[in-house]
Amino acid sequence: MTKIAFMNAINQALDQAMEKDDKVFLMGEDILGGTDIKHLEEKNEDSWGGCFGVTKGLGPKYGKKRVIDTPISEQSYMGAAVGAAVTGLRPVPELMFSDFIGVSFDSLLTQGSKMRYMFGGKAKLPLTVRTTIGAGASAAAQHSGAYYGIFASIPGIKVVVPSNPYDAKGLLLSAIEEDNIVVFCEDKTLYGVKGEVPEEYYTIPLGKAAVKREGKDLSIVTIGKMVSVAMEVADRLEKEGIDVEVIDLRTVAPWDEETVIESVKKTGRLIVIDEAQPHNNTATDIAATVTDKAFDYLDGPIKRVTAPNTPVPFATNLEQAYLPTADRVIEESAEIIDDLKSSK
């Protein structure tokens, strides 16, 4: 199998989804790039292929009917995607940065997510919103949000946060097959990360976590680019004789309670790493749920390692300190780790 970058895996998934179903189309800002520019149209070339180049090539292949450059009008093009979905198309709009829910939230909050319910079950919403998340790209406070926790709080929306190219492709194809709204969150700092990705069409079910590493002493549940942090923590603790299980949630709404709780029942110990802001996020949801449903199996407190309760700073050193790292996880979980070491 060839190794390709995360962003190419996404591109491949979009390509295969469009090939398979001609109701699938893309819309967003500069996702083709240069629509109506003469010299590009004459050569059937796109320009940007999206701000990060993720959709590059799809415009020339499928035409501007199916790869639609939009004006900078997020509220309305996101709402238009809802309108197109409920009338039978399968739109895959791109919201360039998840921070732009600020100017487009209504489409998800009060329209798309509630339609099926408000209409008594008669509507289908085959809609996948692709968006980018995450700090670490020096993009500062307004372009670094990891807002999957907000999406996940809204009934009627599924939310996916892939951690690697293989998952990204399979999860995106699943999302596009869904007759429901899926917000698909791509960490911009993972776009260049390479991994093995089969060329054929395949899907990975939504709502199923991946156990990245089995272990019996301590469970670490995590999301997206924090998976690599968790793996590093596991490696380092292994040297101290602690056997860590790492669970990559993959889908944060609905998240895989079964896998998480089974793991905690086995290990009795849980750390959750979530790069989002600390309050009302997926980490708190997991900690609260495990406390409720597996209390008797817990041997100690559940640690959440998250961003601090601040906006994302620009300066490189501050931004690095903003994101959870293996060092920080180990430091903030000292109590658990010490307990485990002393019980050996």
Partner 1 sequence: MKKLTAAKAKEAYEKMNDIRNFENTLHDIFAKGEIPGFVHLYAGEEAVAVGVCSHLTDSDYITSTHRGHGHCIAKGCDLKGMMAEIYGRETGLCKGKGGSMHIADLDKGMLGANGIVGSGFPLAIGAGLRNQYLGTDDVAVCFFGDGAANEGNFHESINMAAIWKLPVVFINENNTFAESTPQHYSSASPTIAERAAAYNIPGEKVDGKDFMAVYEAAGKAIDRARKGEGPSLIEYHTYREYGHFEGDEQTYKYDSDEEIAFHDRDDIKEFRAYALKKKLFTEKDAEKIEDKSVQDVADAVEFAKASPIPQPEALFTDVFAD
Ligand X SMILES: Cc1ncc(C[n+]2csc(CCOP(=O)(O)OP(=O)(O)O)c2C)c(N)n1
List alpha helices for the chain, DSSP H. Answer: 6-20, 38-42, 58-62, 74-86, 105-106, 113-118, 148-152, 165-177, 226-238, 257-267, 282-293, 316-322, 326-332, 334-342
> With binding defined as CB under 6 A, does residue 29 bind ligand X?
yes
Nearest to 117 by CA among 180, 64, 188: 180
In the complex with partner 1, the residue whose CB is nearer, 38 or 344, is 38
Per-residue contact flags (x/-) with ligand X for residues 85 to 124, judged by CB under 6 A = -----------x---x--x---------------------
Phi, psi (5° rounding) for residue 132?
Answer: -105, 150
Beta bridge partners of 253: 159
> With binding defined as CB under 8 A, does residue 321 bind its own copies?
no
Q: Select from its own copies, partner 1, ligand X, none the partner in contact with residue 85, using the beta carbon and a kind-dependent cut-off of 5 to 8 Å.
A: partner 1
Location of structure tokens 């149209």: 41
Of 21-29, 82-90, 134-142, 163-171, which part binds its own copies (CB under 8 A)?
134-142
> With binding defined as CB under 8 A, does residue 280 bind partner 1?
no
Q: Select from ligand X, partner 1, its own copies, none the partner in contact with residue 44, using the beta carbon and a kind-dependent cut-off of 5 to 8 Å.
A: none
143 is catalytic: yes
HSE-up of residue 81 (Cα within 13 Å, Cβ side)? 36
Least distance (Å) from partner 1 to the CB of residue 192?
A: 14
> With binding defined as CB under 8 A, does residue 329 bind its own copies?
no
Q: Out of 5, 9, 10, 125, which residue is the one contacting partner 1 (CB under 8 A)?
A: 125
Least distance (Å) from its own copies to the CB of residue 272?
A: 9
> With binding defined as CB under 6 A, does residue 137 bind ligand X?
no
Alpha carbon distance 138, 36 (integer Å): 32
Return the active site residues. Answer: 143
Judged by the rule CB under 6 A, the positions of this chain that interact with ligand X are 29, 72, 74, 96, 100, 103
